[in-house]
Structure 1
Amino acid sequence: MKIGVISSTEVCQPVLYHLASKRASVSLFYAAAPEAAITKQVVSFCNGYHIPIVLETTKEHIYEWIRNDQPDIVFITGYGLLLNVNGLGSLKYGVFNVHFGSLPNYRGPSPVFWQLKNGEKTIDVCIHKLTSKADAGPVVWRKSIANEEHHNYTFINQYLSNVLVEGVDFILNCLPGGKLMEFPQDETKAKYYSRPLLKDVMINWHTMQAAAIFNLCKACNSWNWGAITSYKGAELKILDATISTGQQNKEPGTIISVEKNLVVACLDGSCSINFMNLNGIFFPGRYAGNFGIAVDHRLGG
């Protein structure tokens, strides 16, 4: 069986490694990532494991690759464009999209961000058949992992890139015997989330409870280098925080202490800020006072 993988991020590497280690016939169509270093890393990885790789040159290149390579099945993981299903031709086993989110509840290009921001108890990875509507095809495999306190955006993406190997194996084992079951999505429960905008990554101290701030920090670490607030007009990004539910009589956003950590009043208690990024300078909360951050001043004011 000839297997094609389409991607534009390094999340494709675990499944490529797994398939190559089994001596499967696998090739990669890769749309260069914005960071040149990532593209270089993926190319070096493929060359090292003798995996054929084709780099995208135009938006139509992918359809040419399908015609020339003629894979029996294609898996898409981390590819940013919605493909013309008809333009992909008739593959023996079809095209499957890997989605790092619960379907149909978290459709869209950034499901990990929104699941973390919304404080979901579990994070899902689904594999569904590709259709003309984004993330709407019937689901053939899914798995949930617990949303732990130490999880963040980058960790989840790397972790799920390894979990999806299990799903790819499941599909490849089921297909030859016609045993792969399809589960249509419930459109009444469908919700589409767009890529996060500036307003989605900013802390509003007057409306967000401590748990919501904690969740936002997880969702913004490390792709955005933290959830955004400000201090005396300078951008301050929070990468890690701890929740404290003790009642405070301070206005939300007010700095309570800088002695052992940076502690800030919230609507329903306080947040202990463990690690932050002030105008590109990264430092732990215990050094906040050394950077001029003082008690009774406000964040976001």
Structure 2
Amino acid sequence: MKKKKIIFAGTNKLSAEHLNQLIIKKFNIISIITKLDNKIRNKNIFSEVKKIAIQNKIEFIQPKSLNSKKIYQYIKNIKPHIMIVVSYGLIIPKKIINLFPLGCINVHTSLLPKLRGPSPIQYTILQGIKKTGITIIEINEKIDSGYILYKKSIIIKKNETYITLLKKLSILGKKSLIKCLKKIFLKKIIKIPQNEKKVTYTNKIKKKNGLINWHSNAKNIEKQIRAFILWPGSFFFIKKIMIKIWKAKIVKSSKKNIPGTILKANKNGIFISTKKNILKIKKLQISGKKKNNVSQIINSYKKLFKIGKILN
């Protein structure tokens, strides 16, 4: 069963953890597809998946696109049975999908059909959803719309961040992928169509999405901080200095202040008014400095957080 020939496509840490699990379980990975290297200061930065490919001496390719004749012929020549995609980032053309007798499958970090698209974990937190999970689908030419092959859910804790939820979904995803593959190889899989009436979408998160809007309410801002904790972060500016919030708490208040007003700044936190309620900042990072608890740095930066100042 494990000798079925597999091509794996992925890029980031989530992808790498799934690939590692397949290698540990001795599945037959014959080729890996990952993104092009990032170049920083004339140095090539490898993806997490490429590092694993090199460590395990598995053949890999890094195409700009999967639409070329060269890529089509490469895949056709090695005669794989199935393709596994985890956070790869490029569209798989129909002509490529058709090369796999057991199909192409994708591990998606939401309960499809809800939250299709590139940012399901962030949107799960932003929308205050209380249950999420892993959905493994059969890939077709439309994004995240194929038949559901396997689905497993988990409950989300109140203060879940992108980092903690990613870890939980990675563990769940690895277990789910192994179970799903076994069912596929034994031809015991049941394909369930997605309910198109329940479809929702996510967008790619951009740097500008991290800028805090103080005219939003404290609840939404606090969710944004947890959702964007890894990237792009949630930040605001004082005197052109960027300040990133790492941890905050909602303080209920019936008083009406201009949104963005610094109400208090002491060892207990920095209190800033919003459209509804107050955001109490507990941990932050001033540009060029390390992140720290407010209690440990407030004495050095009292002039920066001047009481009564209104943030844009």
1:55 to 33, 58, 61: 61
Per mean C-alpha deviation after superposition, the further-off stretch among 119-128 and 60-69 is 60-69
Q: CA deviation at 1:169?
A: 1.3
Is 1:46 equivalent to 2:53 in the alignment? yes
2:138 to 107, 129, 135: 129
Per mean C-alpha deviation after superposition, the further-off stretch among 182-191 and 238-247 is 238-247
Change (3 A) 1:252 1:33: farther
Listed as ranges, the gaps of 5+ residues in structure 1 are none
2:276 to 268, 272, 277: 268
Post-superposition CA distance 1:245-286 (Å, at most 9, x none): 243343222112211111212333211112223334343322
2:27 to 14, 24, 30: 24
Q: CA deviation at 1:235?
A: 3.0
Q: CA deviation at 1:221?
A: 0.7
Per mean C-alpha deviation after superposition, the further-off stretch among 156-165 and 180-189 is 156-165
Is 1:281 equivalent to 2:293 in the alignment? no
Change (3 A) 1:117 1:40: closer
Kindly provide the amino acid, as one letter, of the partner of residue 210 in structure 1: A
Quote the Cα distance in structure 1 between the aligned partners of 2:8 and 2:34: 8
Per mean C-alpha deviation after superposition, the further-off stretch among 179-188 and 79-88 is 79-88
1:235 to 233, 242, 245: 242
Quote the Cα distance in structure 2 between the aligned partners of 1:271 and 1:173: 48
Change (3 A) 1:110 1:20: same
Change (3 A) 1:153 1:176: same
Per mean C-alpha deviation after superposition, the further-off stretch among 285-294 and 177-186 is 285-294
SS in structure 2 of the partner of residue 135 of structure 1: coil
Contact 2:126 2:223 in 1 (8 A): yes
Contact 1:102 1:125 in 2 (8 A): yes
Quote the Cα distance in structure 2 between the aligned partners of 1:90 and 1:49: 25
Kindly provide the amino acid, as one letter, of the partner of residue 222 in structure 1: L
What's 1:295 paired with? 307
Contact 2:262 2:310 in 1 (8 A): yes
Q: CA deviation at 1:237?
A: 2.5
Q: TM-score, length-normalised on structure 1?
A: 0.88
Q: CA deviation at 1:17?
A: 2.1
Kindly provide the amino acid, as one letter, of the partner of residue 216 in structure 1: Q
Quote the Cα distance in structure 2 between the aligned partners of 1:241 and 1:91: 48
Quote the Cα distance in structure 2 between the aligned partners of 1:113 and 1:53: 33
Post-superposition CA distance 1:195-229 (Å, at most 9, x none): 134564332222x22211111001111111x2132
Q: CA deviation at 1:114?
A: 1.4
1:211 to 208, 219, 225: 219
Listed as ranges, the gaps of 5+ residues in structure 2 are none
SS in structure 1 of the partner of residue 32 of structure 2: strand
Q: CA deviation at 1:180?
A: 0.6
Quote the Cα distance in structure 1 between the aligned partners of 2:61 and 2:283: 38
Give every structure 1 segment of 4 or more consecutive aligned residues whose post-TM-superposition deviation is greater than 4 Å: 35-38
Q: CA deviation at 1:119?
A: 1.4
Q: Give the RMSD, CA atoms, in angstroms.
A: 2.4
Q: How does 1:1-301 map to 2 (within 5 A)?
A: 1-26=4-29, 27-32=31-36, 34=38, 39=46, 41-50=48-57, 52-59=58-65, 60=68, 62-197=71-206, 200-206=209-215, 208-224=216-232, 226-260=233-267, 261-284=269-292, 285-286=294-295, 287-291=297-301, 292-299=304-311, 301=312
